[in-house]
């Protein structure tokens, strides 16, 4: 491994949202740079003006920020760097390493068809290569690629890779509309930004020899390449939406914590012994390309859900309350006092797998018009419980401190006097307070609601039961 300062980059195209595969690539680049005290760069590859959108670019940036993958430089936008690419192309033209090609698209199609008919690879035959042509309307600029020999590189994950130059043709560097091609822009950018390691998906392996040839023509040393394996669904087919291959922001909106998603992503193709969960600091300390496997990683949504639930349980009540607030806002619950929200979160997090689930469960605390579960209403909210609820309400009204311990004493005394068991009053009271037959501990719920709200809800259920008579 080189001793030079490491510089990595993540270069998404803003033709759509950031998905799981791209997020993992970003994470590996970020971790590698952080592990070695290097620089991580964000570059937006928006040269495809027909398909690129500002909305997608902003969504990518927002996704990176949510994941906590901070960059040291950028974001650079390729659409604003054409001068850099054109200087590199002009240099190659001046040095005789590139040439103007006047072959029309129709002629090129005829050449491809003829080559296929003869059983040959349908590549450009070099018609204009040595004609010394100048620029012309509709012309392109091509690289003079070596016609013999091999282009090879030592992939840091896959090992040595060799491609016969006869398999490649004189690739286009500048299109007929004057715009640079993907390969030209990538190489010029990577040179300008000092990229030392290109870590990307193995669907880019075939691009690497072409880009190496541009490096060679420009007389610049190539970076190290590391192509990470693809991500598969549980059925071992290419990951798709049916497996959960949604955008990063979709996972955010479904209530996943960013570190849970990062932890799930890093384990897709990388391992550190048998360890499954990592803090951010542990990831930076232990990540290495040597431990990235050659086989595809399998994305399992159920594992992510389980991991998310673990991280929810381990997050402090204060931090979790801050994360939950936007989800409550989305369902119309606003202005909850911070202390009450933290108290509610403490009761909900042992049972919540996502923040969406937690927000839904929190309705019982903050929705003053909650409905009673129909089945529980019929079974437990019956006239026989009226005396119990009325008597308990009187005792709650005059008790001292409204704590779990104090509530337990009040109920123990009441049950002893009446000679009944807690279950005879617990479910009617639970329904009165939460609208549900299942909830966190009854005394926990009462403390979160507060005495006044508890009494208001008991009064409401008393009127509800009376109305059913």
pLDDT tens-place string over residues 214-246? 999 999 999 999 999 999 888 777 776 666 668
CA torsion sign for 32, 35, 37, 42 is positive
Q: What is the per-residue pLDDT for 305? A: 96
Q: Give all domains of the chain, ordered by start, each with its CATH number.
A: 82-228 (3.40.50.620), 374-468 (1.10.10.350)
pLDDT tens-place string over residues 419-458? 999 989 999 999 999 999 999 999 999 999 999 999 999 9
Q: Which of these is catalytic: 116, 241, 294, 468?
A: 241
**Helix ranges (DSSP H) in 248-354:** 248-253, 258-266, 280-286, 301-314, 317-330, 338-348
Cβ atoms of 365 and 439 closer than 8 Å? no
pLDDT tens-place string over residues 99-154? 999 999 999 999 988 888 888 888 899 999 999 999 999 999 999 999 999 999 99
Cβ atoms of 52 and 13 closer than 8 Å? yes
**Helix ranges (DSSP H) in 141-205:** 182-192
| b/e burial code for range 205-226 (CB count within 10 A of at least 16 → b) | bebbbbbbbbebbeeeebbbbb
Percent of the chain with pLDDT over 90: 88
Token pair of 392, please? 């308990």
Q: Quick one: residue 412, left, alpha or beta (phi over 0 = left, psi -120 to 50 = alpha)?
A: alpha
Smallest Cα–Cα separation from 362: which of 341, 376, 337, 339? 341
Residue 241 bears catalytic tag? yes
């Amino acid at each position: 491994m080189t001793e030079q300062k490491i510089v990595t980059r993540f270069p998404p195209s803003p033709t759509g949202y950031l998905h799981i595969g791209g997020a993992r690539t970003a994470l590996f680049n970020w971790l590698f740079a952080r592990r070695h005290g290097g620089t991580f760069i964000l570059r937006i590859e928006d040269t495809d003006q027909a398909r690129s959108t500002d909305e997608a670019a902003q969504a990518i940036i927002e996704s990176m920020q949510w994941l906590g993958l901070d960059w040291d430089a950028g974001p650079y936008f390729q659409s604003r760097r054409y001068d850099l690419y054109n200087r590199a192309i002009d240099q190659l033209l001046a040095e005789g390493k590139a040439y103007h090609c006047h072959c029309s698209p129709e002629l090129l199609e005829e050449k491809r068809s003829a080559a296929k008919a003869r059983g040959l690879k349908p590549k450009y035959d070099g018609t204009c290569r040595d004609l010394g042509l100048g620029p012309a309307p509709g012309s392109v600029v091509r690289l003079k690629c070596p016609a013999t020999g091999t282009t090879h590189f030592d992939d840091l994950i896959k090992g040595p890779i060799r491609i016969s130059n006869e398999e490649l043709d004189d690739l286009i560097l500048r299109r007929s509309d004057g715009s640079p091609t993907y390969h030209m822009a990538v190489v010029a950018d990577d040179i300008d930004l000092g990229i030392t390691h290109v870590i990307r998906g193995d669907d880019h392996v075939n691009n690497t020899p072409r880009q190496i040839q541009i490096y060679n023509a420009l007389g610049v040393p190539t970076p190290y390449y590391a192509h990470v394996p693809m991500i598969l669904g549980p059925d071992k087919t290419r990951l798709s939406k049916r497996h959960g291959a949604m955008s990063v922001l979709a996972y955010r909106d479904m209530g996943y914590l960013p570190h849970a998603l990062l932890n799930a992503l890093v384990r897709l193709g990388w391992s550190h012994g048998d360890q499954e969960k990592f803090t951010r600091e542990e990831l930076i300390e232990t990540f290495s390309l040597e431990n990235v496997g050659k086989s595809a990683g399998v994305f399992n949504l159920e594992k992510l859900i389980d991991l998310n639930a673990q991280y929810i349980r381990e997050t402090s009540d204060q931090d979790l309350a801050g994360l939950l607030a936007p989800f409550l806002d989305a369902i119309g619950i606003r202005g909850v006092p911070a202390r009450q929200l933290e108290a509610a979160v403490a009761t909900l997090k042992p049972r919540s797998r996502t923040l969406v689930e937690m927000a839904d469960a929190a309705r019982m605390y903050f929705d003053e018009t909650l409905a009673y579960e129909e089945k529980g209403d019929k079974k437990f909210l019956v006239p026989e419980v009226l005396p119990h609820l009325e008597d308990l309400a009187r005792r709650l009204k005059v008790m001292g401190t409204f704590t779990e311990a104090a509530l337990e004493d009040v109920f123990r005394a009441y049950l002893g006097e009446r000679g009944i068991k807690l279950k005879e009053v617990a479910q009617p009271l639970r329904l009165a307070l939460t609208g549900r037959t299942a909830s966190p501990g009854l005394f926990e719920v009462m403390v979160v609601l507060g005495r006044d709200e508890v009494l208001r809800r008991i009064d409401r259920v008393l009127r509800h039961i009376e109305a059913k008579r």
